[in-house]
Amino acid sequence: MHKTHERKTRHQPRVEGGSCSTMCLFEDDNNSWCFESTSPMMEMGWDWEQTVDDTYWNVQFKPYIESQLSLTSNFVVERLITSSFMIEMEKFFTNTFYSFLFDNTGQVCFGFGLESEDINLEMTF
């Protein structure tokens, strides 16, 4: 009889930034240069995965970052120039993993790796 067992857990803390309000480098009645962005731009945390079989025990530690960006710039100098641009990066997930495999023969194997989703960046003027 062949027995296997797999377990995946997500542990806290899950770290993320607060809300982002509009920030202005300068602003008066007629002129301004202001930025707006979305929140959270980044979340971080970690996962643990364990796999048990008749011949081995494998445990993986997986720290990760989930990131996104949406930034809008509005630049106005009355009677001279008006400019705005937008930078957007879709949410993506990146993690590393550290693997420890213990075989019933006494052998220990270590592993390391990196996984990432596609990163899409778009700029609009």
Other beta carbons within 10 angstroms of residue 63's beta carbon come to: 13
Least confident of 35-44, 75-84, 115-124: 35-44
pTM for the whole structure: 0.66
Q: How far apart are CA 23 and CA 57, in angstroms?
A: 51
pLDDT digit string (tens) for 54-106? Answer: 899 999 999 999 999 888 999 999 989 899 999 999 999 999 999 999 999 98
For residues 64 and 95, what is the distance between their CA atoms, to the nearest angstrom? 4
